[in-house]
Amino acid sequence: MPGESMPRNRAVPEPTKVHSVAFLESVLATSRDCIKVLTFDGELVFMNTGGQAVMEVDDFEDIRGCYWPSFWEGEQNAAATEALARAKAGLIGHFVGQANTMKGTPKWWDVTVKAIAGDGRWPAYIMSMSRDITIARELEVQRQLLSDELVHRVKNILSVVGAIANQSLRGIDPDRLDSFGARLAALGEAQGLLVERSTASGSLREVVTRAVSPHCPADRCSITGPSYELNARRTLALSLAIHELATNAAKYGAYANDVGRITIEWEVDDAVLHWTWRETDGPPVEPPLRTGFGTRIITRNLASEFRGEVDLQHLPSGLVLTLIAPA
């Protein structure tokens, strides 16, 4: 009735031991997950009603006693066998795999396997819980196809821009045109990396490695630093800056001879990112007489997107760039 207070600490009746099995079966029947109980040898002895529905099982007696890993084929069979072995060892087995229902409908499953007690004995049985993730898997495949198409279109657009520039800027210094085209290619590569990482972020190590790899021999480049994620804007800014640094190194710096080296390293200390590009053993370095567009990409854009400070030094021993920014 309105205005009446609800009783507190009301006793909730518990199912009696006689009715506990039926009660638990009714609870399991409401689940759309496929919950199976196996013997310790992996033979199927129980499947909940909801699981039978999603697995399209007309009569459970037709599959009672089947060896559970046999429901899986190929690599999934090996994964199921390993998960069963982990459960028998007292661990939790887990894998994601594809298996058809009893009527041949292909589905993807997220599977967890663990040991359970029975009649006071431990362990006595194995429980397998399979969740139907088919729709999520199909959406992921669709997303990946759209992402691949986006990467393809972006690179095509940048190629068209490059072609238009070549046609429109005839008579311009060829080196400057080549530099422009290379920057477009670096931009396309950075965009591709962002799409591959769901357009949200990128691993700093992955960004550095991919941006530097077209220019730097692996045996003359050292990359060290902890795991760290970059957002989309920082990924683009750093990719373009590394392209400019590597191009400059190939023309005038550490890679302009046969012995020069580049060291790229970073650390995160007290929520501050310290990132360094250091060239050694290259030709003697002299400060440039003017600040070009490439230098502005390296310094201004990098500092702006990271909201930090960039220090670019042309030391006689080699160029050194240091970025200090909030992590």
At 223-251, the pLDDT tens digits run 999 989 888 788 888 888 888 888 788 78
CATH number of domain containing 82? 3.30.450.20
Mind listing the pLDDT tens digit for each residue in 82-107?
999 999 998 999 999 999 999 999 99
- Which residues of 119-271 form beta strands (DSSP E)? 121-132, 201-203, 221-224, 229-231, 261-269
- With respect to residue 1, please indicate whether it lies within any of the assigned structural domains: no
pLDDT at 134 over 80: yes
Shared domain for 42 and 125, answered yes or no, is: yes
- The whole-number pLDDT of residue 146 equals 64
Task: Considering only residues 25 and 57, tell me which one the structure prediction assigns the higher pLDDT.
Answer: 57
Q: Is 10 inside a domain boundary?
A: no
Is 196 among the domain residues?
A: yes
pLDDT tops 50 at residue 47: yes
Is the model more confident about 226 or about 218? 226
Q: How far apart are CA 128 and CA 79, in angstroms?
A: 13
pLDDT value for 66:
93
Give the whole-angstrom CA distance, residue 244 versus residue 63.
Answer: 64
**Pick the residue with more confidence: 200 or 74?**
74
Which pLDDT score is estimated for 44? 94
What's the pLDDT score for residue 222? 92
What order of strands is seen across the sheet that includes strand 318-326? Answer: 221-224, 261-269, 272-280, 318-326, 309-315
**Residue 282 DSSP symbol:** S
Please give the distance of CA 60 from its chain centroid, rounded to a whole number. Answer: 39
Residue 9 lies in a domain: no
The residue ranking higher by pLDDT, 122 or 34, is 34
pLDDT exceeds cutoff 90 at 311: yes
Tens digit of pLDDT for each residue in 182-213? Answer: 666 665 665 565 555 544 456 889 888 887 87
For 177, the domain range is 136-326
**Higher confidence at residue 167 or residue 321?**
321
Single-letter amino acid, residue 52: Q
Q: Are residues 153 and 278 in the same domain?
A: yes
Q: Is residue 4 in a domain? A: no
Q: Are residues 203 and 103 in the same domain?
A: no
Q: What is the mean pLDDT of the chain?
A: 80
